[in-house]
Structure 1
């Protein structure tokens, strides 16, 4: 979400319609935090969760030009509530006292990742905004899981898994050919899902430190391979002539 470019001109009425849906989702975040006090156990936890959601919600209000979000984007916004809960629980390592609840929230966010696309297809409401919204939430969730692993036991190298997406985007500021559209790829989707699954498995209390490192390393290597394939394809397209 943070990587959109041109800001569209949106009528004030439509912007207010979008804002009302974001506010209602923010209320849902507050109720969820009240229901799960172990995850948002202090002011810092609440502040981080609310800041995360405010950032996402602000970008949605800024870049969605059609008023009501539609059901597919509403599902994605519900995912944003879950991601904000996961972010808030990282403060003061609160997630470690209720790790199963924290992992359940991450799993639900992963499940809804498939639901919003299905809803978009069923309602014929797929959009470039919805696809980008979904992708950026995936990237943020993966980064949060990496931070969780880093706080638990693994070295700082695990943050490369979550940071690689942002490094790729940053590289595009220097090499414009990296910003060109990519072809649709099942390999890319599979690697994304495996990253989340591997990180979730690595975070469970039942997983040994060695197994957690192996799982995280497999996620990192598969991601390096996937980004390498995409970067090479973009380079060849840019220099074909």
Structure 2
């Protein structure tokens, strides 16, 4: 019976990925900053552990508690809509520390055990915004694009020791708490000069009926975890697949 460890399981994609693998009889280590036992059905195959991917001590504790892991899913992430000129340096660092450096740190923590067993899969969940430029998302996009480049280069190293690395690129998912969690970071980040642009961006979001559901992401992660022939980049969601098909 294989074990998967997923970061960012308190809501959205991470929570659905955990449910998906539990339903398929995997051992699941679901991590989140503030653990809640009521989010997932009780199971002898489930462990819910605290984890802050920006904290080295927290990562070390999870490695010790989780034991052998066959699949690592770096899903935890944060973001904000903002004009570049108005995004505070501290917020830029926060986004990169979670989305980029947090993913790298988790890879560094779990790859050694996979390498020793000459098997395992690392799956980094990024975003389809890395396939098509959008306004007011420059820092978030940069943080995710960095993970794309990191993963593709790392995959070349890992292949030599029997470990695989994959990317899952979700589209826009209005049903998750991503936008809700991002809202506190957006205050004062869109100056009046960008008001018309921001209004158009929000209108486009509302008008676009192509969205990504959490189940789309769970299915993409399942493919990445279980299909040795899966492509490096797996778009998740109708909108993400369309963008991938037209990306230059």
Higher helix fraction (1 or 2): 1
Higher strand fraction (1 or 2): 2
Bucket of the pairwise TM-score, normalised by the shorter protein: 0.3 to 0.5
Looking at both structures, which has the greater relative contact order when contacts are Cα pairs under 8 Å and sequence separation is at least 6? 2
TM-score (norm 2): 0.32
